[in-house]
Amino acid sequence: MDEQQKVATHKLFINGDWQSASSEQTFFTHNPATETVLAEVARGDMADVEQAVVAARHALEGAWGRLKPKDRSRLLYAASRVILEHAEELALLETLDSGKPLPQARKEVVSTARYFEYYAGAADKIHGEQIPLGPGFVNFTIREPMGVTAHIVPWNKPLNILARSLAPALAAGNTAVIKPSELTPLTALKLAELLAGMGFPAGVVNVVTGYGEEAGAALAGHTDIDHITFTGSAATGRAVMKAAAEHIKPVVLELGGKSPLLVFADADLDVVVREAVKGIITNCGQMCSAGSRILVETAVKAPFLEKLTAAMQQIVIGPGVDSPDLGPLVSDIQYGRVANHIDIATSEGAHILYGGGRPPHLARGYFIEPTIFDNVLPDMYIAQQEVFGPVLAAITFQDEAEAVRIANKVPYGLVAGIFTNNINRALRLATRLQAGQVFINDFYTGDEETPFGGYGQSGFGREKGLAALHNYTQIKNVAIRVRA
Ligand code: NDP
């Protein structure tokens, strides 16, 4: 790969200014569909994180902190409009950087704008309450911002996951330091540029690009941040939590899953197939909430897998800019991880029903076929560990009790899908499944308004909806003695 070719260069965004990393170091991002260099980006480290945190603290104590809630609300609303005006540019950037199909990138940009719109509506409604203490007392609570918030963002939905935490943090009056993934930093930088251009005061939103173990670790371990939102792997989540513990900082962790679709014999199999395909090929399976386990009642296993295989055969694979169904994985490292999962599953005795390799017509890029494994047992590695690729594990069950047992017997608990035409069964199971979100007769159901987060090793804290605002406020109680 020729790293010397002329590509766009990007600096850090700190205190309203673009600046090189203090080390003057840079790194390159790549287009996963072509493996070519896409951009040169500043490699921020601890010194740059320090500057960003100081800027964010200064903004909090200055112009931003003095803004009325209704003015914050107006700014956030205006931001949602500006994002939509730049939707095509943002979507294309995201597709080139991450590999995802352009139509999906467009959807994620619309959802990004929606986060700003939704939390714009909430910014001036963050109320405290009055608590009666009886004669002689007045007591009320105030919801104050946490302060300087850190946002460590992964590469699978770089702009959208950033907006998911940034918009509520800003709505609640916080300032932010963002560390995007080194694989996909471009849309975070573009968003910062757009926000600065429309009047967000300097220092409110800062972006320090760089490596996870440098800039990311420096941010997670900084003594003067007040809150961390992290989305990514359980291993890095653990490291972030340890760093946060050093200075007793609160964290929200969103760490992925091994989410099941429970398919009962009375379900509409055509609907299940459509939703199962969506659940595993969206973003090339690189979704924390991917439906990566199909738990199917033995009686319908054969017809279901036949329909599922037929549907997979229709999937069009190609570069994201061509709007295929399935784009490439994000990187060669991710390709290696997914291929390794496929090898382990095969060696443990699971059977590849469809896919399992590189599509023959694509010589370059990190493309992998959608893959279905049959004969999977619940304790196999492929049934327990997150693949983060378009790889489905099909497991059978005899009855409801067994389905619940298998569904819950993984370390994760992010989402679960139930497919049945028996409403009593659906609602019964919804309470028994260990998952933060339950979808019935659909997948990826819910929106910016609905709380999202995990049980077990999928993490803790809730994003999206009004629930997310609580991450970014702290309650102060004020008690007054009224003297005669
Ligand atoms: P990571 O968890 O390592 O990366 C997530 C974010 O954390 C990135 O911004 C990364 O920066 C940053 N980071 C890395 N190391 C540190 C650190 N020591 N301190 C603070 N921040 C850090 O994920 P990977 O990219 O390694 O992916 C591995 C696996 O994680 C995937 O296969 C998938 O299973 C899971 N994953 C889950 C996601 C989800 O949505 N829940 C999203 C992404 C991955 P940088 O990228 O620059 O290293």
33 and 172: one domain?
yes
42 and 67: one domain?
yes
Give the pLDDT band of residue 1 (cuts 50, 70, 90).
Answer: very low
Q: What is the average pLDDT across 85-89? A: 98
Nearest atom in ligand 1 to 257's CA? 41
Q: What is the average pLDDT across 142-164? A: 98
Residue 3 has pLDDT above 60, yes or no: no
Asked whether the beta carbons of 145 and 320 are under 8 A apart, the reply is no
User: Does residue 464 lie within any of the structural domains?
Assistant: no
143 and 227: one domain?
yes
- The range of the structural domain enclosing residue 396 comes to 260-456
Q: What is the average pLDDT across 434-440? A: 98
Mutate to test the pocket of ligand 1, among 233, 259, 388, 463 (most ligand atoms within 8 A of CB): 233
How far, in Å, is the centroid of ligand 1 from the Cα of 70? 36
Q: Is residue 284 among the annotated active site residues?
A: no
Whole-angstrom distance, CA of residue 90 vs CA of residue 86: 6
Strands 205-207 and 227-231 turn out to be unpaired
269 and 130: one domain?
no
pLDDT of residue 169: 98
User: Does residue 468 lie within any of the structural domains?
Assistant: no
pLDDT of residue 55: 98
Ligand 1 binding site (Cβ under 6 Å of any ligand atom): 152-156, 179, 181-183, 211-213, 216-217, 220, 231-233, 236, 239-240, 254-256, 288, 337, 386, 388
User: Does residue 470 lie within any of the structural domains?
Assistant: no
Residue 404 has pLDDT above 50, yes or no: yes
Residue 184 has pLDDT above 50, yes or no: yes
pLDDT (tens digit, 9 = 90+) per residue, 383-400? 999 999 999 999 999 999
Give the three-state DSSP class for 442: coil
> Residue whose CA is closest, atom 37 of ligand 1?
232
Q: Which of 240, 255, 270 is the last residue of a domain?
A: 255
Q: What is the average pLDDT across 243-249? A: 97
Residue 33 has pLDDT above 80, yes or no: yes
Q: Give me the catalytic one of 117, 182, 254, 369.
A: 254
Asked whether the beta carbons of 320 and 102 are under 8 A apart, the reply is yes
Give the pLDDT band of residue 6 (cuts 50, 70, 90).
Answer: confident
316 and 168: one domain?
no
Q: What is the CATH number of the domain that holds 337?
A: 3.40.309.10
How far, in Å, is the centroid of ligand 1 from the Cα of 183? 10
> Residue whose CA is closest, atom 24 of ligand 1?
233
pLDDT of residue 5: 61
Whole-angstrom distance, CA of residue 423 vs CA of residue 129: 39
Percent of the chain at pLDDT > 90 equals: 98
Nearest atom in ligand 1 to 161's CA? 40
> Residue whose CA is closest, atom 3 of ligand 1?
236
Q: Which of 222, 255, 288 is the last residue of a domain?
A: 255
How far, in Å, is the centroid of ligand 1 from the Cα of 233? 5
User: Does residue 471 lie within any of the structural domains?
Assistant: no
Nearest atom in ligand 1 to 179's CA? 9
Give the three-state DSSP class for 69: helix
How far, in Å, is the centroid of ligand 1 from the Cα of 154? 6
pLDDT (tens digit, 9 = 90+) per residue, 438-460? 999 999 999 999 999 999 999 99
User: Does residue 320 lie within any of the structural domains?
Assistant: yes
Give the three-state DSSP class for 354: strand
> Residue whose CA is closest, atom 19 of ligand 1?
217
User: Does residue 390 lie within any of the structural domains?
Assistant: yes
Residue 224 has pLDDT above 60, yes or no: yes
Nearest atom in ligand 1 to 210's CA? 47
The alpha helices in 142-268, defined as continuous H runs, are: 158-171, 186-197, 217-220, 234-246
Nearest atom in ligand 1 to 334's CA? 32
Whole-angstrom distance, CA of residue 362 vs CA of residue 316: 12
> Residue whose CA is closest, atom 29 of ligand 1?
233
How far, in Å, is the centroid of ligand 1 from the Cα of 230? 9
> Residue whose CA is closest, atom 21 of ligand 1?
216
Cβ contacts of 310 within 8 Å, gap of 6 or more: none
Q: What is the CATH number of the domain that holds 22?
A: 3.40.605.10
Q: Count Cβ atoms below 10 Å from residue 141 Cβ, excluding itself.
A: 15
49 and 164: one domain?
yes
Widest Cα–Cα separation across the chain: 86
387 and 268: one domain?
yes
> Rounded mean pLDDT of the chain?
97
Distances (CA, A) of 386 to 101, 282, 340: 22, 15, 12
Mutate to test the pocket of ligand 1, among 29, 43, 162, 181 (most ligand atoms within 8 A of CB): 181
pLDDT of residue 484: 84
Q: Is residue 288 among the annotated active site residues?
A: yes
Q: Give me the catalytic one of 288, 386, 448, 463.
A: 288
200 and 274: one domain?
no
How far, in Å, is the centroid of ligand 1 from the Cα of 236? 6
Query: For the chain, what is the radius of gyration of the CA atoms?
Result: 23
123 and 142: one domain?
yes
268 and 250: one domain?
no
Q: What is the average pLDDT across 212-228? A: 98
Class of residue 92 by CB neighbours under 10 A (exposed 0-12, middle 13-18, buried 19+): middle
Nearest atom in ligand 1 to 254's CA? 41
Residue 305 has pLDDT above 60, yes or no: yes
214 and 334: one domain?
no
The token pair that represents 108 in the structure block: 């994620």
pLDDT (tens digit, 9 = 90+) per residue, 316-342? 999 999 999 999 999 999 999 999 999
Give the pLDDT band of residue 427 (cuts 50, 70, 90).
Answer: very high
User: Does residue 222 lie within any of the structural domains?
Assistant: yes
How far, in Å, is the centroid of ligand 1 from the Cα of 210? 13
How far, in Å, is the centroid of ligand 1 from the Cα of 161? 13
Nearest atom in ligand 1 to 387's CA? 34
User: Does residue 473 lie within any of the structural domains?
Assistant: no
Residue 215 has pLDDT above 80, yes or no: yes
Q: How many domains does the chain have?
A: 2
Q: Which of 255, 285, 310 is the last residue of a domain?
A: 255
Q: What is the average pLDDT across 186-215? A: 97
Residue 28 has pLDDT above 50, yes or no: yes
Residue 376 has pLDDT above 50, yes or no: yes
The token pair that represents 479 in the structure block: 């008690």
239 and 286: one domain?
no
> Residue whose CA is closest, atom 38 of ligand 1?
232
